[in-house]
Amino acid sequence: MFARQAINTYAQVGVQTGAMSASPHKLITMLYDGARAAIARARFHLDGGNIAERGNAISKAIDIIDNGLRAVLDHDAGGEISANLESLYEYMVRRLMLANLRSDAALLAEVDTLLESLASAWAQIDDDAGGAERQPALQDS
């Protein structure tokens, strides 16, 4: 029991340290990873019949989506894209609540797939930006 608590504390410190030193882009990546990890825990607890822990994991995923990803949307700068993302995040939250209510693994998988697609696109944005910054400047001949 003590070892598990120590491991959880160590992991939490690692996440907090990573978040404090992360770029805004990396923070969004961490939110996507955290929501997907919570959904994975929810699926595990669903399979194990642990209703309370399943509910906690789904609540964690909802919290990350609603108070993390959705809360940082910049509607002034993002325009239509941020409006579409907000609608998608609201949809995901509704699907997660329904998954909890119905004990439905397919709904958990659906939201996980959506998050995976968004995380992949977000990573691509970082790769594109990082690649452009890393390329040497061209000189005139």
Return the CATH number at 85.
1.20.120.340
Q: Is residue 13 part of a domain?
A: no
Q: What percent of the chain has pLDDT over 90?
A: 65
Number of domains in the chain: 1
Q: Is residue 78 part of a domain?
A: yes
Q: Is residue 9 part of a domain?
A: no
User: For residue 101, which of 132, 59, 130 has the smallest C-alpha distance?
Assistant: 59
Q: Is residue 140 part of a domain?
A: no
Q: Is residue 57 part of a domain?
A: yes
Q: Is residue 129 part of a domain?
A: no
Decide: 82 and 62 in contact? Cβ < 8 Å.
no
For the chain, residues with pLDDT lower than 70 are 1-22, 126-141
| Structural domain boundaries, residue 26 | 21-122
Q: 51-64 and 24-48 are packed helices; what angle lies between their axes, rounded to 10 degrees?
A: 160
Q: Is residue 141 part of a domain?
A: no
32 exposure class (CB count in 10 Å sphere: 0-12, 13-18, 19+): buried
Which pLDDT value is given to residue 1?
47
Which pLDDT value is given to residue 127?
61
Q: Is residue 8 part of a domain?
A: no
